[in-house]
Structure 1
Amino acid sequence: MPTIPSSGSTDPGQHRRVAESFGIDAARYDRARPRYPEALLWRIVADRPGLDVLDVGCGTGIAARQFQAAGCRVHGVEPDVRMAEVARRSGIEVDVATFEDWDPAGRTFDAVVAATAWHWIDPVAGTAKAARALRPGGLLAAFWNVFRLPPELAEAVAEVCRRVLPDAPFDFAAMTKGTPDVYRPVLARAADGIRERDGFGEPEQWQYEWEWTYTRDAWLDQMPTFGAFTRVPPDRLTEVLSGVGSALDALGGSFTMRYTTVVVAAHRNGTA
């Protein structure tokens, strides 16, 4: 379920606590979280294998490994040492730091990417740091996966979550019925941050539609990695997963998820 910061939030500390909670089970996160569409990767790479890519908030290296497979050299920045260690075990060089505090140390890149991470970064400070790290003509691309559960499953998941977690600070109905519109404030915030920084062209928005079929076990493996559940007490999480598992059993034990990957991208001015 998306746990993006709300523009109307009055508790930024809550969002920071959520952001810092994903490393609780980094191995599960790496195993269960969805990948990103190949069409997006190839648009960023633009048939130029061998690019130097900086992956901001690289987590366990999910997107970084995809860029490596596309022939890129990838360097990561990740504030959570637990997530960074998983990425390093797959051969990715990672600096442990927040992006705002990270020092490029003279290093430059052809692309700066952020896979489901830019909403945790100050967009103006982040864009300024990206400008320092990008070569002329380089690309800044921030992207997110938005999922839409089948309606009958979305209703069942929301009902289970409301019953087991009545005091949770999340709108489970909105989370389970995600659409690209949910991310409109995040996309606008990212684009506005780029516009406030001299040196970039006008930001573009891209969108990719794709599908993925989940088994019961695969979906129950992924659910605990969402920010809505990373800090839920184990007994309540077990109850949530049991209820969702029963709903999936009633629906045949598997389902097809519709994903939309939304992107904000802009080129640094100049010629490479």
Structure 2
Amino acid sequence: MVFGEVAHVYDDVRPGYPTEIARTILDYHGTAPAHVVEIGAGTGKGTDVLLRLGAPITCLEPDPRMAARLTAKHPQVQVRTESFEQWRPPAGGVPLIAAALAWHWLDPATRNPRAHAALTPGGTLAAFGHRYAYADPDQAAAIDATLRAIDPTVRDRPPTWLHDDIIASGLFTDVRTETTSRHLPLTTDRYQQLIGTFGPFRTRPVDERARALDAVRALVDGFGGTVVLDLRTTLVLARRPGTA
């Protein structure tokens, strides 16, 4: 339950997803799915886009504070305060499972087999998320050096890790990846708030968090009070073999 205590900040400052993701998913799936299950729905950043599929959605969100925020925003979806591992799919499975910036929180040993088993034959897995890069290489280098000086253990996942993880399972066919990029300028305050919602930050001791935020403030103020993110959004689509 890493994000619950900052659910309102998370919902406010985390960037949403391009609406075009919904059309890409529909084109891949072939028709509007009869049912969508979203893993780790959080406050509904991914749900905002998935609602455009025109299908009933069941959102799995184990943190009750995040789930409450999601329910308030989207009362039309069914929210279940349980994890993907706790959830039991209906008999016959579901036609589409989605995960928005949640795949990395699932058990690496079981996430692909569980998704495969929960899908109907021919069903679609849609996993997507942001990668926070920087438009200015100098800003990127300075921020990376500053944060690693506080916590040198932090490691970024490779840009293709999501695609590679699903491919490596050997369980899915027709795996496709689309990546889009957009620039997102943030003030010092907004960037501090964003950093405060990241998982690696939330799991660090309180004193390290305070030092990181102080360092980030000094750094971005030195840039003139603005940092420009190169926000890269990757969507990976995959299909369970077979026909419904």
Q: Shorter-chain TM-score: what band? A: 0.7 to 0.9
Partner of residue 44 from structure 2, selected from 41, 47, 61: 61
Structure 1, residues 185-222: CA drift from partner, whole Å, max 9, x if none?
443122222x2x3xx42322222222222222221111
TM-score by length of 2: 0.82
Q: Which runs of 5+ in 2 are unaligned?
A: none
Counterpart for residue 37 of structure 1: 18
Partner of residue 141 from structure 2, selected from 138, 145, 155: 155
Counterpart for residue 101 of structure 2: 116
Q: Equivalents in 2 of 1:210, 1:161: separation in Å?
A: 23
Counterpart for residue 202 of structure 2: 230
Given that residues 97 and 119 in structure 2 are in contact (C-alpha distance below 8 angstroms), is that contact kept between their aligned partners in structure 1?
Answer: yes
TM-score by length of 1: 0.75
Counterpart for residue 93 of structure 1: 78
Counterpart for residue 265 of structure 1: 237
Tell me the percent identity: 29
Given that residues 57 and 99 in structure 1 are in contact (C-alpha distance below 8 angstroms), is that contact kept between their aligned partners in structure 2?
Answer: yes
Q: Is 1:188 the equivalent of 2:169?
A: no
Residue 114 of structure 1, CA deviation: 0.9
Secondary structure, counterpart of 1:208 in structure 2: strand
Counterpart for residue 10 of structure 1: none
* Aligned amino acid, residue 240 of structure 2: R
Secondary structure, counterpart of 2:15 in structure 1: coil
Counterpart for residue 9 of structure 1: none
Q: Over the residues paired in the alignment, what is the CA RMSD in angstroms? A: 2.7
CA gap of 1:182–1:264, structure 2 versus 1, over 3 A, is: same
Secondary structure, counterpart of 1:79 in structure 2: coil
Secondary structure, counterpart of 2:196 in structure 1: helix
Structure 1, residues 125-144: CA drift from partner, whole Å, max 9, x if none?
33343344434433111122
Counterpart for residue 218 of structure 1: 190
Q: Mean alpha-carbon deviation: is it higher for 234-243 or for 256-265?
A: 234-243
Counterpart for residue 144 of structure 1: 129
Counterpart for residue 228 of structure 2: 256
Q: Is 1:105 the equivalent of 2:90?
A: yes
Q: Equivalents in 2 of 1:239, 1:124: separation in Å?
A: 35
Secondary structure, counterpart of 1:217 in structure 2: helix
Counterpart for residue 6 of structure 2: 25
Secondary structure, counterpart of 1:266 in structure 2: strand
CA gap of 1:51–1:151, structure 2 versus 1, over 3 A, is: farther
Counterpart for residue 66 of structure 2: 83
Residue 225 of structure 1, CA deviation: 0.9
Counterpart for residue 6 of structure 1: none
Structure 1, residues 227-254: CA drift from partner, whole Å, max 9, x if none?
2210334444233223222222222222
Q: Equivalents in 1 of 2:109, 2:235: separation in Å?
A: 17
